[in-house]
Structure 1
Amino acid sequence: MDKFRNMEVMVAVVEGGSFAAAARQLNISAVMVGKHIRLLEAHLGARLVQRSTRQHSLTEVGATFYEDCKRVLEQVRWAESAVERSRAAPQGLLRVSAPTTLGNHVVAPLVADFLLHNPQVRVELQLSDSLVDLVGDGVDVAVRIGPVVDQSLVARPLQPYRMVIAAAPAYLERQGRPLRASDLAQHTCLRHSVWNGRTGWPLREDGVAVDWPEQSRFTCNQGDSLRTAALCGLGLVLQPRVLLADDLASGRLVEVLQDCAPAPRPVHLVYAPDRRQLPKLSRFVAHVLQAQG
């Protein structure tokens, strides 16, 4: 019996929430997932997963065993990486996580350039606006926007994340140019659907925070679609400078209300301190810092 493989399957079932999710993650069949769990239960002489027609839940023994499995697998991963740390040339798989927009427009080009100069390294770039668990999700390094909350991580500062307010020249000719943040109430403002009082980007006017208007003719959960609407002259858009940089440089969009734009947010490259000795990680960190410097 391959105990380590069975333990990997056990962890995947718990974190995926079902046999089917674990099967997709591990690229095996759900039937095979069930076989691994049954082998574990037979070996241990205890029920680990309580099965029903709708869901699977851990027994008390299963919950304890799951936590132990995570620790063992992490120790195995660290032991395997000792071989990699002894090599001079970076090689192996590097897992990178980044927010969607910043990842598409900044991190992905950096990854491509890094791979061109390090032919023995493979990179898996995961783009998501959700906060990943570096250890639990098996991520080597992540780019995060905002203050670093987890003080156990190494955090290297990158260029701040800046937002800009812009519109197409045709829109400004038709509706006029706003001069103050309070003028936005009389304009058509394109809105991101996830913005609210907690996640929005407050504007600044005479030292007072002003929210982006809540009512909009066009709301979307994706920045590229908001950019497209702005290019069509539909209204004013508030989006990251990295997303609009080419349009601003070409004149397809015009920046307005520069003094009212939201305060930049810090950006960091974060990773666990016990991973810093890996050549693939240390070389990638150096590559990103040099490019962002």
Structure 2
Amino acid sequence: MDNRAGEMQVFTRVIEAGSFTEAARLMLMTPSTVSKLIGRLENRLGVRLLERSTRRLSLTAEGQVYYERSLALIGELDDVERSLSQGVASSGGTVRVNASVAFGVLGLEPLLPAFWHEHQKIAVDLSLSDEIVDLYLDRTDVAFRVGPLQGSAMIARKIGVAHRKIVASPDYLERHGTPRAVDELAVHNCLGFNFRRAAPVWPLKESGRVVDRTVNGSLLANNGETVRRMAIAGIGLARLADYHVRADLNAGRLVEVLSEAVESDGELIHALYLGGPRLPFRVRAFLDFVCPRLQGFLQASR
């Protein structure tokens, strides 16, 4: 492996320290390792860089040239790394983000003004959809996923748990009655979803165990916001995340029913992203800003 930059760093440290022993101490190496490295460097170049004596080291003419050029190249390398790791904050970039409609509107969008206040040159390309996107094909940097994760090379940062509630409008319950037991859902209009991963079942607790109950209704939608609005309009019962209906419950637009049956009904929410330890600054800055705030957002729903 070509490690000429490393050899230059060791060589310049030897000159600055004045001895192999002191340079080795500063670089956490052994004196023999430093001596062998300098000897290998001289053999490869075919010139002598140092005059060695028992009292001191001195540079040859070739060594002086190599030392000066090494300092310049190391300085340039430091400038490149500094510009990429720190200066990117000023150059900005675009973070492509995907989230479900409700989580994006209620949890993520309110955080963006404060994020841009701190990172004025980072743009956010935000797509909201309850369908699962492919991060590779859609060129997405960060996706907020609700539910179990499939095995992949992507990195997951846990945000929290979305607890489900069954809700309906006071008008609907007045007209159709309030269900008191899981069996009564069979005579109610249960609003559902039509995306591929959705199933016409609600996991409900019965007799101490969770059972998938098949439900039916007059609406199948591809996002939770449509289901929520139809529930408020008095069309039927809806099973939605607590953060999604929090304001409606507080305002009396919706009422929770069968709370004991959905006591354990919750799904994890993660932020998924690519990149690992070499995560671009714009993506790292976005995650570090929004993730702890989204965790607080979910906890406030309980």
Q: TM-score, normalised by structure 1?
A: 0.63
- Matched ranges for 1:1-293 at <5 A: 84-87=84-87, 89=89, 91-194=92-195, 198=199, 200-206=201-207, 207-214=209-216, 216-261=217-262, 263-274=265-276, 276-291=278-293, 292-293=295-296
| Matches of 2:151 and 2:83, distance apart in 1 | 28
| Matches of 1:251 and 1:156, distance apart in 2 | 34
1:239 match: secondary structure: strand
Over 3 Å counting, the alpha-carbon distance change for 1:191 and 1:199 in structure 2 is closer
| Matches of 2:201 and 2:277, distance apart in 1 | 34
Q: How many matched pairs?
A: 213
- Which amino acid letter does the alignment assign opposite residue 131 of structure 2? S
| Matches of 1:212 and 1:102, distance apart in 2 | 26
| Matches of 1:265 and 1:237, distance apart in 2 | 16
Identity of aligned residues (%): 32
- Which amino acid letter does the alignment assign opposite residue 130 of structure 2? D
| Matches of 1:258 and 1:94, distance apart in 2 | 39
Q: CA deviation at 1:156?
A: 0.8
Q: Is there any run of 5+ residues in structure 2 with no aligned partner, and where?
A: 1-79, 297-302
- Once the two structures are overlaid, the 10-residue window that deviates more, 228-237 or 269-278, is 269-278
1:67-92 CA-to-partner distances (Å, cap 9, x unmatched) read xxxxxxxxxxxxx9996434262621
| Matches of 1:259 and 1:191, distance apart in 2 | 20
Over 3 Å counting, the alpha-carbon distance change for 1:161 and 1:81 in structure 2 is farther
1:128-163 CA-to-partner distances (Å, cap 9, x unmatched) read 333333234322211111223234222110121222
1:239-291 CA-to-partner distances (Å, cap 9, x unmatched) read 22232221111111111111212621111111123465422222211112220
- Which amino acid letter does the alignment assign opposite residue 233 of structure 1? G
Q: Is the 8 A contact 1:182 1:210 kept in 2?
A: no
| Matches of 1:186 and 1:88, distance apart in 2 | 59
| Matches of 2:131 and 2:219, distance apart in 1 | 24
Over 3 Å counting, the alpha-carbon distance change for 1:144 and 1:124 in structure 2 is same
Over 3 Å counting, the alpha-carbon distance change for 1:201 and 1:185 in structure 2 is closer
Q: Which residue of structure 2 lines up, in the alignment, with residue 12 of structure 1?
A: none
| Matches of 1:193 and 1:202, distance apart in 2 | 17
Q: TM-score, normalised by structure 2?
A: 0.62
| Matches of 2:104 and 2:115, distance apart in 1 | 14
1:94-150 CA-to-partner distances (Å, cap 9, x unmatched) read 111222332222222233431232111111012233333323432221111122323
Over 3 Å counting, the alpha-carbon distance change for 1:153 and 1:122 in structure 2 is same
Q: CA deviation at 1:178?
A: 1.2
- Which amino acid letter does the alignment assign opposite residue 234 of structure 2? G
- Which amino acid letter does the alignment assign opposite residue 87 of structure 1? G
- Which amino acid letter does the alignment assign opposite residue 100 of structure 1? V
Q: Which residue of structure 2 lines up, in the alignment, with residue 18 of structure 1?
A: none
Query: How large is the Cα RMSD of the aligned pairs?
Result: 2.8
